[in-house]
Structure 1
Amino acid sequence: MSKVTLNVEGMSCRACVNKVEESVGQLNGVESVKVQIPEGKVDVTFNDSTINLADIKGAIQNTGYEIKEDIDKEDGSACSCCS
């Protein structure tokens, strides 16, 4: 399993959360999706042998939101203030 946090712009309400979580959550290989509106982040846990990150990003972009950058949280060494 891989875990990633994506910085996503344009999400502002519960409808945004539902749209993103539904779109990404229905992808084969995605185990969990959690949108954090105040931080503008989407946490995704997925099976990287089933789905790739580009497909996940595409699903978010297809819902109308822009992805700014990735923060890989899998090993805990990356943080937004150090990149």
Structure 2
Amino acid sequence: MKKLVFGLEPLSCPSCIKKIETALNHTSGVEDAKVLFHSGKVRIQFDEAVVQPEALRQIITRLGYPVISEKSS
């Protein structure tokens, strides 16, 4: 499993959390996705053999939340 943290622009409402987490957690290959509201970060644990980081980035961007940074861990 690989871990990735995306930095987002500041989130404006708690419902944003649910929207992003639901989309990512329903993505094949994603084991866990958590949104940290106050820091504007998304932590994702995923199987790189099933889904690539760019696909995860696109899911978040299509929901209307631009990704401004990316860090692997």
Q: Over aligned residues, Cα RMSD in angstroms? A: 0.9
| % identity of equivalent residues | 27
Within 5 Å, which residues of 2 pair with 1:2-81? 2-73=2-73
**Structure 2 letter corresponding to 1:3:** K
TM normalised by structure 2 equals 0.94
Q: TM-score, normalised by structure 1?
A: 0.83
Unaligned 5+ residue runs, structure 2? none
4+ residue stretches of structure 1 with deviation over 3 A? none
**Counterparts of 2:32 and 2:12 in 1: how far apart (Å)?**
20
Q: 1:66: Cα distance to partner?
A: 0.4
CA distance in 1, matches of 2:63, 2:5: 17
**AA aligned opposite 1:64:** G
Q: From the CA coordinates, give the structure whose radius of gyration is larger.
A: 1
For the residue of structure 1 that corresponds to 2:57, the secondary structure is helix
In the TM superposition, what is the alpha-carbon distance from 1:13 to its structure 2 partner? Answer: 1.8
Aligned length: 73
Check the 8 A contact 2:10/2:39 in 1, yes or no: no
